[in-house]
Amino acid sequence: MIAYVTVGADDMARAKRFYSAFLSALGYGLEEGPEGLTYTLPTEPGQAAAFPDFYVKTPFDGGPASVGNGSMVAFEARDQTQVRDLHAAALLAGGSDEGQPGFRAAYGPRFYVGYLRDPQGNKIALFSSNRDEPGRDG
């Protein structure tokens, strides 16, 4: 099980604007601290933490943040409409388009996905595989 994912950012205000544009709609709460942003899923008292947490931090080594070539973080939306809405919201919040929402021939017939880059250049996917919606082939 993945417990957390961390991406680097040099400008926390821009990162917060971008990630808060869609993570809150996916149920993540935000905590801000001197080291950066912590997005977590809610848990009831006495319940185990819901993973994964998502962190946006300045690099520990003090150098500039850089993206991982081939790295991507994917967030699951409830349906295709939410993928489209959150992709659009993230673009308005400073992200850049890396692939409009839709089906891809290389993936399964129900995998509906849109790709973005955050303001730092990290690649993000928003996807849905909702079985109650039409797939690529019908």
Mean pLDDT in the chain?
95
Q: What is the pLDDT of residues 45-86, one digit of tens each?
A: 888 888 999 999 999 999 999 999 899 999 999 999 999 999
Provide mean pLDDT across the span 84-99. Answer: 98
Q: Which residue stretches of the chain are H helix?
A: 12-23, 80-92
User: Is 114's pLDDT higher than 80?
Assistant: yes
| Residue 48 CB-half CA count within 13 A | 3
pLDDT band at 33 (very low <50, low <70, confident <90, very high): very high
pLDDT band at 44 (very low <50, low <70, confident <90, very high): confident
Scan for tokens 């880059």, then name that residue: 117
Does domain 4-128 fall under CATH 1.10.3720.10? My reply is no
| Residue 16 CB-half CA count within 13 A | 13
Domain residue limits, the chain = 4-128
pLDDT at 48: 86
User: Is 87's pLDDT higher than 80?
Assistant: yes
Beta bridge partners of 133: none
Q: What is the pLDDT of residues 54-65, one digit of tens each?
A: 999 999 999 999
